Amino acid sequence: AQSRLIVGVRPEVALARDLVLILLNKDGYVQRSRLVPTLSNLVEEHTVTALLSQIGRKCTNGWELRLEDDTIFEHEFPDQVGLHQSYWEHHIQNEPKLSLLLQEYETATTENYSTKI
């Protein structure tokens, strides 16, 4: 299933973007040094950097979401927060490539790649 978040984006870029968003949602940050090799067969390194720059900011562990968590919204609208979480879980289950990329990122090491965050 192709994401409808951005119209006219190549499917490979949309898949890379979705992986970044899932990792940010799950872990709170993403490590570029693990992400680039994970996505190397899908998009070029400069595309990964562009995605991270658009939605994230550098932090101690790598890159974190540019926007802060809205704890007031989370508290006042728990059903909406649950729907958001369900959307990503459903997306991972129904997009085999995304699930494989997520597994690859989780097992990736940074030994064979630049330590650049």
What's residue 6's pLDDT? 53
- 48, 36 Cβ separation under 8 angstroms: yes
Distances (CA, A) of 71 to 51, 68, 78: 25, 9, 10
- Residues 51-109: tens digit of each pLDDT: 999 999 999 999 999 998 899 999 999 999 999 999 999 999 999 999 999 999 999 87
Query: Would you kindly state where each structural domain of the chain is located, as residue ranges?
Result: 11-107
What's residue 9's pLDDT? 85
